[in-house]
Amino acid sequence: MAATGNILFSGVGGQGILLASEVTAYALLAAGYDAKKSEVHGMAQRGGSVTAQLRYGDKVYSPLIEPGKADILISFEMMEAARYLPYLHQESKVIVNTQQIKPPSVAMGQVPYPANVLDAVSSLGIQVVSVDAFDIARDAGEVKAANIVMVGAMSAFLPMGVEVYENIINTRIPERFREVNMKAFAAGRKITA
Amino acid sequence: MSGNEAIAMAAYEAGVTVASGYPGTPSTEIMENLSKYEGVYTEWAPNEKVGLEVAIGASFAGARAFATMKHVGVNVAADPLFTVSYTGVRGGLVVLTADDPEMHSSQNEQDNRNYAYAAKLPMLEPSEPAEAKELLKDAFELSEKFDTPVLFRITTRVAHVKGVLSKGDMRKSSAVCGIEKAPAKIVMLPGNARNRRKIVEERMAQLTEVAESDTFNKVEPGDTKRGFITGGVAYLYVKEAFPEATVLKLGMSWPLPEKKIKAFAASVDELFVVEELDPFLEHHIKAMGVECHGKDLIPNQGELNTSIVRTAIDPDSAPVLFAPAELPMRPPNMCAGCPHRGVFYNLSKMKDIFVSGDIGCYTLGFLPPLSAMDSCVCMGASVTIAHGMAKALGDEGKGRLVSVIGDSTFVHTGINGLINSVYNDSRTVLVILDNRITAMTGQQNNPASGCNIKGEAANAIDLEALCRAVGVKHVETVNPHDIAECKKALQTALALDEMAVVISRAPCVLLPEIKNAPHNPYSTKTENCAGCMACVKLGCPAISWTNITSQEAVAKGYKEKQKGFAVINEVQCNGCGQCAALCKFEAINRKGE
Ligand code: SF4
Ligand code: SF4
C-alpha cells in the first residue's frame, strides 16, 4: 500500500456520490488513516458532472488529487468514467456502474451516447470492473442503494475488512435504510472480492 | 467534518451570540450549521450589507457577532465594512469571506485579500478545516484585544473539504450585553472619523507586531536551498510538492510581518511566493525590497493544486498523462418539473426580446435548448440593466425588454432596482420567478418564503403588495406550469406602456414538501408521437429522444419520414404538465389517463 491513496468519485448530480464518498472516508478513518475529502457544490448539483475526491494516508496535505495519481476511479455513470482519463495511471483500478444517464445533447438526439465508452479506458491497459449497480440494488430492495453497491465493489481494493463498513452503515445510515444498504454492500463486494 | 461545519462549531465555541449571512456558495453551510446550536441567534439577511450591519449592531451592544458571505457578497457589504474599520467593535466582530478560485459557482474570481489592505483590517486565513476552527477563535480574541473587526478568508477548498478534527473546549461564557454610549467612537461624522483615522493607523502598527510573532506566522524549517512564503490552501500544495523545503506559513495575510519576511528571505538561497489568484503577498513583499519568484511562475488564474505548483517551479517534473476522451458535455440543467422552465420556454418563443437575467437556478435558462437569457452580471442587476437599456434604446426598446429575477434575489437588491424603474418611468417588464425559496444554494428560506433560518414560521413579504406599494400598477401573478396562461401574461405586460411586473409562482421541486409528496407523473404513448420534438425543446431532463431509421419508423407504424420519438422517464418526471400542454398529438398524458 502506497503512503497515500487517491480515490476519485465521478458521476452525475443526484446519484448519491457524496454519501458513497462519506461512507468510504469513515471506513478509512476507522482503519486509522488520515483522510481528506473535497467536493464542489452549487451549480454542479443540477444534473451536471460531479466529482468527489478522497485522499488518505499517514498525513494528507492537499485536498486535491493530482492528474495521473488517482489509484481508484469509481464512476457512478458509464460515460463519466471516461471523462477523467488524465487522472489515471497504468495501475489504476476503474470501477464503473454501467447505468447510462443521457446528458442534454444526447437526450435531445443531437449526438449519440458514445458507443463502447469503456473501451477507451481498457484499451490503455487499465483494469476496468463493470458493475450493473442499478439492477443489483433493485434486487437488494431499493434502486437508490446503487451507490452502496458501488462502495461494496470498491471495498475489495481498499485495506479495510467488511466489518468496518458494516459498522459504519449501522451507525451512520438511518435505520430504515440499513438492511437494504447492508444487502447492497454485500452484493457489490461479491463482484470484486 | 467540513471546513464550514468546523467554522460553525468554532463560532459557537467562541461564544458568538448573533450571526447573520446571505447564502452563497461556498459559504452557505456555515450559517446553516450555526443555526443548529442553541444560544446563538442566527438569521438569513436579505443581502450581505444588511447582514454585516446587523452584526455590527450586535457588536456595539457587546455581543460577539459573526457575518458570513461569499466573495462577491463583500462587494455588497463593502460600504459598512470600510467604516466599521474606523469605529472598531465592542463585542468581537468577525466577517467571513468565502472566495471561489476557479469560479466553481461564481460570476468572477476576485481575491478578497485586497479588501483587508484597502479597508485596513487584519485578515486571518486558514489552510484546512482543523486550522480554520482554531483560527476563528483566535480571530474573536484578536478583534476584542485590538478593537477591530477581523476579516476571515476561506476558499472553496477549505469550505468544502472534509478533514479529521477534534471537538474543542466547551463554549466560553458569552459577552455581557448592554447599551453603552460612545459617540466619539461610533458616530462617524467627519470630526470623529478624523480622530478614528489616526487610531486605525496605530492599530495597524500594533497588529504588525502580532504578525511578527509566531502566533499566526510560523517558519517551518527545512532545506534552505528553497524557501517558500505561502498561506491559505496554497500552503498545502507547497508542503506536498516540496516536503523538504523551508516554509514561512502566513496564517495572517494582512498586515504582513516585514521583519520576519526579510529574515526568512535572508535565510534561504532562493525565495518563492506561492499564492492562489492575485500576487497579493508578492507585491507587498517586493515593496519591502525583497526579491522573490511569484507570478512569473505561478498562475494567477484558477485554483492551484500540487502538480501545478510543482511543475511551475520544476518544469521537468511534468508527468505524461493519458489524453482526455472526447465526450458530450454534461452541463447542469434545471430540474425536471422546475417552474422556471415554463417562463423561459415562453420567453424563448418570443422574437426580438432581450432577457436581462440574474443570479440563481434560473441563470440556467441561458443554456440550450431554451437559451432564453441574454445577460447576467450580478445579484439584483437584472432590473437595472433592463432599465438602462430601455433608456438607451428609446422607442426601439419598447415591448422588448424583460428582466427575470428570483424571489430571494429580488429581496436581496432587486427591490431597489424596481423602485428606480418605477421612479424613472421604465417601460420594461420584470418577471419575479417566485419558487418560494433560495434554490441554487440548496433551499434556504428568505423574507418571501414565510419561514426563518430554522424553518420556523416567520412573517412573509407579500410580493404583489410590495410591487404595488413602490408604484407598479400592473402586477399579475401566474402559474408558470400553465404555459398558455404564462404566455398571455407576458404578452399583456409587454404591450403596456409602463413598468409591469409578472410574478411567476410555483414551488421549487426540491422543497421537501414537494419532493416527498406522491408524484403523478406523465407518460408517453409513443405510438401517438408524431416526432415533432415540441416537448424535447422544453429541455426537461425527464424527456429524451430516440432517433430511428426510416425502416424502423415503418416497422413501428410511424410515417416513413419520422426521425424518432420522445419518451418520458417516469422515475424522473415530477408531473408538472408543461410538456403535455405542448403535445398536439395526445402522446403525453398523466399516467393512467
Ligand atoms: S432546484 Fe428548484 S428552482 Fe432550481 S432548478 Fe431545481 S426546481 Fe428549479
Ligand atoms: S411533466 Fe413533462 S416537463 Fe414536467 S417533469 Fe414531467 S416530463 Fe418534465
A40 touching B (Cβ < 8 Å): yes
Where does residue B193 rank: exposed (0-12), middle (13-18), buried (19+ CB within 10 A)? middle
Atom of ligand 2 nearest to the CA of B543: 7
Residue A70 lies in a domain: yes
Handedness of CA B206, B209, B210, B216 (dihedral sign): positive
CATH of the domain at A83: 3.40.920.10
- Answer whether residue B194 shows pLDDT above 90: yes
3-state secondary structure of A162: helix
The confidence score (pLDDT) of residue A44 equals 57
- Ranges of H-type helices in B46-168: 48-60, 71-87, 113-119, 129-145, 156-159
Phi, psi of B152 (to 5 degrees): -125, 115
Residue A42 banded pLDDT, cuts 50, 70, 90: low
pLDDT band, residue B538 (cuts 50/70/90): very high
Give the pLDDT of residue B172.
Answer: 65
Backbone CA torsion sign across A173, A177, A183, A185:
negative
Contact in structure between B140 and B92 (CB atoms under 8 Å): yes
Angle at B442 between CA B72 and CA B40, to 5 degrees: 80
**Chain A residues with CB-CB distance to B239 below 8 A:** 61-62
Q: Per-residue pLDDT tens for B302-328?
A: 999 999 999 999 999 998 999 999 999
Work out the mean pLDDT of chain A and round it to a whole number. Answer: 93
Residue A142 vs residue B411, higher pLDDT: B411
The predicted-structure confidence for B206-228, as pLDDT tens digits, reads as follows 999 999 999 999 999 999 999 99
Give mean pLDDT, residues B361-383.
Answer: 95
User: Which among B311, B317, B330 is the top mutation candidate for probing chain A, defined by the most A β-carbons within 10 Å of its own β-carbon?
Assistant: B330
Nearest protein Cα to ligand 2, atom 6: B573
Domain that holds residue A28: 5-132+162-170
Q: Indicate the top mutation candidate among B362, B508, B574 to test ligand 1's pocket, ranked by most ligand atoms within 8 A of CB.
A: B508
Cβ-Cβ contacts under 8 Å, B161 against chain A: 36-38, 63
Q: Is residue A147 part of a domain?
A: no
Judge whether residue B168 has pLDDT over 80: no
Q: In this structure, what C-alpha cell is assigned to residue B200?
A: 486605525
Using a 10 angstrom Cβ sphere, with 0-12 exposed, 13-18 middle and 19 or more buried, the burial of residue B589 is middle
Q: Other CB atoms closer than 10 Å to residue B296's CB: what's the count? A: 9
CB pairs under 8 A between A and B: 162
Task: Count how many domains chain A has.
Answer: 1
Segment B533-556 shows an average pLDDT of 95
Nearest to B226 by CA among B241, B244, B249: B244
Q: Give the residue, by CA position, lying nearest to ligand 1 atom 7.
A: B338
Environment class of B507 (CB within 10 Å of its CB; exposed 0-12, middle 13-18, buried 19+): middle
Residue A119, CA distances (Å) to A76, A124, A125, B337 in order? 17, 8, 10, 35
Give A120→chain B minimum CA distance, Å: 7
Spatial contact of B2 and B160, defined as CB atoms under 8 Å apart: yes
pLDDT at A3 (0 to 100): 61
Is residue A140 assigned to a domain?
A: no
Nearest residue of chain A to residue B3 (CA atoms): A38
Is the pLDDT at B509 greater than 90? The verdict is: yes
DSSP calls for B4-56:
HHHHHHHHHHTTEEEEEE---TTTHHHHHHHTTSTT-EEEE-SSHHHHHHHHH
Distance in angstroms (rounded) separating the CA atoms of residues B198 and B533: 69
Confidence of residue B591 (pLDDT cuts 50, 70, 90): confident
Residue A39, pLDDT score:
83
What's the mean per-residue pLDDT of chain B? 96
Instruction: Quickly state the pLDDT bin for B519 (edges 50, 70, 90).
Output: confident
Mean pLDDT, rounded, for B567-588: 95
Q: Residue B505 and residue B489: Cα distance in Å, rounded?
A: 13
Residue A14 confidence (pLDDT): 85
Return the C-alpha cell found at A142: 431499493
Residue with cell 456595539: B60
- Which residues 60-79 in chain A show a CB within 8 A of chain B? 60-64, 66-69, 79
Residue A92 lies in a domain: yes
Residues B229, B235: contact at Cβ < 8 Å? no
Q: Is A111 on the interface with B (CB under 8 A)?
A: yes
State the pLDDT confidence band at B174, using cuts at 50, 70 and 90: low
Residue A137 falls inside a structural domain? no
Instruction: Ligand 1: list residues with CB < 6 Å.
Output: A 46; B 334-335, 338, 340, 361, 435, 439, 508-510
pLDDT, residue A41, reads: 62
pLDDT at A43: 60
Write down the pLDDT at residue B165.
Answer: 83
Residue B431 contacts residue B405 (beta carbons within 8 Å): yes
The arithmetic mean of pLDDT across residues A76-91, rounded, is 96
Task: Point out which residues pair with B568 in neighbouring strands.
Answer: B543
List, for residues A109-150, the tens digit of each pLDDT value. Answer: 999 999 999 998 999 999 999 999 999 999 999 999 999 999
- pLDDT at A1 > cutoff 70: no
Which residues lie closer than 8 Å to B198 by C-beta, 6 or more apart? Answer: none
Please state, for a pLDDT cut of 70, what percent of chain A lies above it.
96
Q: Helix, strand, or coil here: A9?
A: strand
- Cβ atoms B133, B168 nearer than 8 A: yes
Q: What is the C-alpha separation between B94 and B78, in angstroms, rounded?
A: 14
Distance CA B340, CA B364 (A): 10
> What whole-number distance in Å separates Cα of residue B16 and Cα of residue B10?
9
Give the C-alpha separation, B229 to A100, whole Å. 47
pLDDT of residue A2: 47
Contact criterion met (CB below 8 Å) for B154 and B98: yes
User: ipTM for the complex?
Assistant: 0.92
Chain B contact for A122, CB < 8 A?
no
Do B543 and A40 make contact, defined as CB atoms within 8 angstroms? Answer: no
Q: Residues B448-505: pLDDT tens digits? A: 999 999 999 999 999 999 999 999 999 999 999 999 999 999 999 999 999 999 999 9
Pocket test for ligand 2, best of B479, B522, B537, B589 (most atoms within 8 A of CB): B522
Q: Where are the alpha helices (DSSP H) in B256-320?
A: 258-267, 280-287, 306-313
